[in-house]
Amino acid sequence: MDLSAIEISSLRKYYGKTRGLENATLEVKEGEIYGFVGPNGSGKTTLTRILLGLIHSNSGEAKIFDQDVKKASVELNKEIGYLPSEAFFFPEMKVKDVLRFFQEMRKVDDSRVLELVDRFDIDVNKSIDQLSFGNKKKIGIVVALLHSPRLLILDEPTTGLDPLMQQTFLDLLVEEKKKGVTVFLSSHILSEVEKICDRVALIRDGVIYQVFEMSEIAQLENKKVSLFPALEGNLPKGMTFIKVEDDLTHYSYVGDINLLLKRLSQQRFDKCTIRDASLEEIFIQYYQKEGVSHDVL
């Protein structure tokens, strides 16, 4: 039986009259990478902070490893590694002193810290206020991971990282997952969610709309087709016109790719691109189908 790493039910949080979360319910299984996706201000950080005990919900329940986050936050924080969306540390201190502080607070030995520092190519002799946003983020990653937590809570983890570091980080998450670590990843960047998540929940305006299994999405075989000139005659079954942009006519296609190729071979094109639809495009299509505003993402 799958154990739950995070369980929230009917969670509600208002900041005065402003909605932070409304009746949020979700479950993250132990050992999975769970994406929590939504636009800025949708409630992702609110949920993250409730889970960490930094803010308190108005009603509902939030549990991590079957313990109430309000009552057991000290014990739970031993098991959690947290990366905030913007990592702030003590500005006048050197990186090595900051890392030493967290290492001693978490009571961990040098080897893990050195391994992470080496992996993320961190200059430990620089002072924090000399670091760029991305380099501070790398320190944040080391701080989140240095005590080998059972649960990683990551808020917009790759923002500010260069593409190489993004890949290093995503690879590391996959390695952590293999060790049994649960990852709760909040993001508005669907491409990173697409790469590594097992499941993804969509949130907007504090409301969780839908939870998808990534494997289900992959089975949709949703393609994007861009053509010049446009396809003449009736569109084949499964093909939908999207828009015309820069001379190209864009379509979506769901169905047997061979049937599509056969239909396209009946006409001459100057430009023709067929690619898998991104997660973002699939979600937009999903919401249009379900009658939810397409700007949900």
Partner 1 sequence: MMFSSRLFKLEFSRSFKSLLTWSLSIGFTMAFVIVLYPMVIDIYSAIPAEYQSFLDAFGGVPHNVVEYYATEGVMMLQLFGGIFAALEGYSALNRDDKEKTVECIYQLPYSRSVILTTKLLKVIINVMLFSIIVYLMSLLSFIIIGESFDGVKFLIFNLYNTIMFVVLAILGFALVVFMKPTQKSMGAIAFPFVFYIISVISSVTNNDTLQLLKHITPFTFANPVDILKLGADFEWISFVVFVGLSIVLTILAYWRFQKREFTV
Residues binding partner 1 (CB under 8 A): 15, 49, 52-56, 73-75, 77-78, 80, 82, 84, 86-93, 101-102, 104-106, 143
Contact 129, 93 (CB under 8 A): no
Token pair belonging to 201: 């929940």
> CB 89 → partner 1: shortest distance, Å?
6
Cβ-based nearer residue to partner 1, 35 or 53: 53
> CB 77 → partner 1: shortest distance, Å?
4
Cβ-based nearer residue to partner 1, 62 or 282: 62
> CB 64 → partner 1: shortest distance, Å?
13
C-alpha torsion sign, points 214, 220, 221, 226? negative
Cβ-based nearer residue to partner 1, 73 or 167: 73
Cβ-based nearer residue to partner 1, 142 or 217: 142
Cβ-based nearer residue to partner 1, 70 or 271: 70
What does the buried/exposed string (b/e) look like for 195-217 if buried means 16 or more CB atoms within 10 Å of the residue's CB? bbbbbbbbbbebebbeebebeeb
d(CA 12, CA 22) in angstroms, rounded, equals 5
Token pair belonging to 61: 């329940």
> CB 150 → partner 1: shortest distance, Å?
13
Q: Is there a cis peptide before residue 229, judged by omega within 30 degrees of 0?
A: yes
Nearest-10 crossing angle of helices 110-119, 95-106 = 140
> CB 29 → partner 1: shortest distance, Å?
23
